[in-house]
Structure 1
Amino acid sequence: MKLYELGKLYSGAAAQLAGIERVVFLSKLSDYGINTFRLTEAELTEDLANA
């Protein structure tokens, strides 16, 4: 999880390293206070505008 938090691994690779499914890995991040999504405010605004 630390490698994911530091941006060294994407969620799929981090999950594989941990030996769990990606969806399980993503759901466990909040247990450790790690944000699942890494969008900046500008990226989020752009995504909302394109929705």
Structure 2
Amino acid sequence: MRTIQLNIPDNIDLEDYDFSMIIAAKLYEDAKLSAGQAAQIVGLSKRAFIEMLGKHGVSVFSKSISDLHSDIENA
């Protein structure tokens, strides 16, 4: 896993966990990471990460119509 360093202004009142969650949620939403990979970045279980997504305005359901049709066929 790669490590990056960000310089965040001191007046931004967020904990390191919050930054990690924001980044992981966005990468998950953009389908750059799986839920498991995103959960690993934050240090949560996959289930806990999925539960936290709603608090960050991210749906666990795909926005793609073709994915929806595929899910319905597989159900």
Same fold by TM-score greater than 0.5:
yes
| Unpaired segments ≥5 residues, structure 1 | none
Name whichever structure is richer in helix by fraction: 1
Query: TM-score, normalized by length of structure 2?
Result: 0.55
Return structure 1 stretches of 4+ with deviation > 4 angstroms.
none
**Equivalent residue, structure 1, for 2:57:** 33
Sort the Cα spacing of 1:2 and 1:43 in 2 relative to 1 into closer, same or farther, 3 A. Answer: closer
What fraction of aligned residue pairs are identical, expressed as a percent?
37
Alignment TM-score, normalising by the size of structure 1: 0.74
Aligned CA RMSD, in angstroms, stands at 1.8
Of structures 1 and 2, the one with the larger relative CO (CA 8 A, separation 6+) is 1
Unpaired segments of 5 or more residues in structure 2?
1-24
Deviation of 1:33 after TM superposition, in Å, equals: 0.9
**Equivalent residue of 1:36, what SS?**
coil
The number of equivalent residue pairs is 51
